[in-house]
Amino acid sequence: MTKEEALIRSIVGPARCEVRTFACAVNITRHLLFCENLAQDDILVTKHIYPEVAARTGKSCAAVSRQIERMENLCWEHLGAEGQLTYIGRQLKDIRSPSDMLFYLAYYCHFNMPYYEVLREKPELLFGSAAKEISDVRTSQAFRAKASD
């Protein structure tokens, strides 16, 4: 089970729904943000994420789109106030767009911190290129920690 799948299962519980397509979308979002250094506003789910998920899973873009949106909505329904604080970092009345859940979970998977807490500490992450610098620092810190063990 991937880190993304485990995170989604921790939110929706032991539901009978298929989470791999959504987990793949979270993984691609994470890659675009922190490896490709794209700004969040520059990532278009219909152009950058859905076609890549469709290619990886062998499904049509339409099917991928429906599955991802269903899972985004299911995650939102299961979060509740406490889950919003845990995974998003603040309580929201409503989600602006279901695709926002991809970004919230991508940040949580990458930093193990809620989206708004990460942005509070590092607002420059919204602009893309700073994400690589911060990710490189975290990687080098982890490498040094392992080397000292």
**What is the domain partition of the chain in residue ranges?**
3-148
User: Can you give the pLDDT of all 149 residues of the chain as single tens digits?
Assistant: 789 999 999 999 887 778 999 999 999 999 999 999 999 889 999 999 999 999 999 999 999 999 999 999 999 999 999 999 999 999 998 888 878 999 999 999 999 999 999 999 988 887 776 545 555 555 455 545 544 55
pTM of this prediction? Answer: 0.82
Contact call for residues 11 and 73 (beta carbons, < 8 A): no
Length of the chain: 149
| Burial label, 142 (beta-carbon count in 10 A; 0-12, 13-18, 19+) | exposed
